Structure formats: C-alpha cells, structure tokens
Amino acid sequence: MNRVTSLDIADLAGVSQSTVSRALRESPLVNPQTRRKIQLIARQQNYKVDSSASNLRSQHSRTIAMLVHQESEMDSDINPFFVSMLASITRAAAARNYDVLLSFQQLSENWIVDYQNSNKAEGIILLGYGGYTDYIRKVELLDGDHVLTWGPVIEGQPGHFIGCDNRQGGYIATRHLLRLGHREIAFLGDISDDCPEMQDRYLGYCRALHKAGIREKPALQATAAPAERSGYLAARELLRRDVAFSAAFCSSDLGALGAVNALREGGLSVPGDVSVVGFDDIPAASYATPALTTVRQDTAGAGKIMVDALLQLVAGEATRSQLIEPELIIRASCRPR
C-alpha cells in the first residue's frame, strides 16, 4: 500500500492535481461543489497534505519552536509556572493552526541557526533565559530574527520581550500585607541585575512601603531563586539574622513554599506568626497548607499574546512590548497583624 498523494485524490475526483490542492486549501477559486467533493474523498482516503512538500514549496512551516531554558541537562524540574505557559502557548498556536516544536536548551546552544535557518520553525519563543546580562548580550546579535522571550519588559532593551507587570505585582502583594497591618515585611528574591523581573517586584515592594511611610531595610531582604530549596534557605537565613518581621513577600510561589517550611521548622506558624505572599499562582499554591495568597500571572492570556506577537514578528510587522496585568489571589497564608 503506497502513500496517498494529491494525484491519487485528483484521479478519484476526476480533476487535476492543482484543483485538489486548491480545494484542500479552501481556495475561493474552486467551485464549491467540486471543493466539497474533493474534501470528502480526501477524508475518506485519510489523505493529508504532505507538510514537507507544502512547506518547501510555500516556504513557511506553520511551526513555532518553544525553547525552555535549562541551566543543566540534569535538572528536570521545570518551574510549574513555565509548564502553564507552555500549555497555553501550545494551545494558542494550535488555535492559529501552528504546530509547536518543544525543546529544552541551554543558553550556549545556537537555537537560532538550528530552528530558523533550517526552516523548521518560523519563530522562536523562549521561556526562561537564565541570567539576564548574558542573555541580553546574545539577543543583541539576533537583530531581525523572530525570537520572543518571556521576561522583563524594559525600556530600550534589544530584542522582543513580553512579561508580567512585575512592579505592579510587587506593589499589590505588599499593599495587601500593609493593609493587614504588617509593617516589617521581608522580601525574598534575587534583586541583582541578572534578575530584572524579581528586581521589579522588589521595586514594587519598595514603592508600597514608601507610600505607607516605611523605608525598606536591607536586613529584611534575602536572595532566593524561584525554587523551593532556595526559598527555604533564604527564610532560614532571615531567621538567623534575628530581625523582626511579621510578613514575607516571596517573589515566587516555589520559593514561598520553601520559605513556609523553613518558618515552620523555626517554630513559627504561617499565617499565625508570619503572613506569606507568593508570586505566580502555580497549581501547588492552591493546594499547599496553608493555601498560598499569591500574585497570579495570567498564563492563558499570556500564551495568546505571545503567539500573536511572535506571528507579527514573523510577518515583519512591528510588535510593541506588552505587559500582562498581575492579579492578587487571596487565600489562607495571610492574617491581620
């Protein structure tokens, strides 16, 4: 049994191969009756247009590549936030009739050449970029390529980024704690230049504090990456410092979950002794004990926006950077002072 081609369908339908091709692409040129007949026969024969041939001829692949950054080969835990993004991007792409190639890569590898120059994908979405300073250096060389990154949206930066309004996110998280009467609020997160997103959350935190007439204290900030272990260690460090705090804003849910464990180990109850707010609203946030109050990033909406923005880049249109609005999700990990 040989592969069915458009020529076979043409024979069965008694038309030319060109007409088959047109009918299957919903060309308005072809007679509606003929089109229906051809489509019926194609379905009966389980015929599908050969994508290699179609791609080669038409010079586009209707495929995007989604690269998830990983520091090392071995680290197989993907941040659940990225999993949500990945799912929502894949669905948004499918809705636009695009396929998605998935890959886990390190920054050092040359994905542009691999995916774009081989015509495997028309554009690339990057989830997680590792260190910002290294990444931006790489992006500068990309001029004209179709690469969109989930990350910080910074005035004048090269490349194309879409991300959450992190400053606003940090602001509403901290304001929530302030309104509950907390004054000594710790910040767990990396505020170095390598993490502009967390830095922005920190700036939002500071702004909320200032509005309440409070100055931020370096002793209340502890560096943490978005990982459970990292949040755990940061909270321990904070406890060791022996500085008073009745609340903590963690710049990731994963970090917040770790911090909660560390606080408990230190004999503190959450939210009894310390209120905790996270960031991301990963699934685990809602079924943790206590369920985590957090700042949700709308991944479903973000996926659509990213796919649309990438396809604009591909089409050569201008894309403006867009900020996703964060939303405070109140659960059980905070209590009035």
> Which three-class secondary structure state does DSSP give residue 7?
helix
**Residue 31 or 269 with smaller CB distance to a copy of itself:** 269
CB of 310 to a copy of itself, least distance (A): 16
- Tell me the angle at which helices 6-13 and 32-44 cross, rounded to the nearest 10 degrees: 120
**Residue 31 or 133 with smaller CB distance to DNA:** 31
* Virtual torsion, Cα 65, 70, 74, 77, nearest 10 deg: -90
- Report yes or no: 307 and 93 within 8 Å, Cβ to Cβ: yes
Interacting residues with DNA (CB under 7 A): 3, 5-7, 15-19, 21-22, 24-25, 28-32, 34, 47, 49-50, 53-54, 56-59
- Report yes or no: 186 and 245 within 8 Å, Cβ to Cβ: yes
CA atoms within 13 A on the CB side of 247: 26
CB of 310 to DNA, least distance (A): 20
> Which three-class secondary structure state does DSSP give residue 43?
helix
Interacting residues with a copy of itself (CB under 8 A): 4, 46-53, 55-56, 61, 63, 66, 73, 76-78, 80, 83-84, 86-88, 90-91, 94, 99-104, 113-114, 117-120, 228, 257-258, 260-261, 264, 283-284, 286-289, 299-300
17 binds, among DNA, a copy of itself, none (CB under 5 to 8 A by kind): DNA
Q: How many residues does the chain have?
A: 337
- Which one-letter DSSP state was computed for residue 219? G
CB of 284 to a copy of itself, least distance (A): 5
86 binds, among DNA, a copy of itself, none (CB under 5 to 8 A by kind): a copy of itself
CB of 96 to DNA, least distance (A): 17
113 binds, among a copy of itself, DNA, none (CB under 5 to 8 A by kind): a copy of itself
Cross-strand partners of 99: 63
CA distance 62 to 248: 45
90 binds, among DNA, a copy of itself, none (CB under 5 to 8 A by kind): a copy of itself
> Which three-class secondary structure state does DSSP give residue 145?
coil
Q: Which stretches within 47-165 are classed as H helix?
A: 51-58, 80-95, 111, 132-140
CB of 4 to DNA, least distance (A): 7
316 binds, among DNA, a copy of itself, none (CB under 5 to 8 A by kind): none
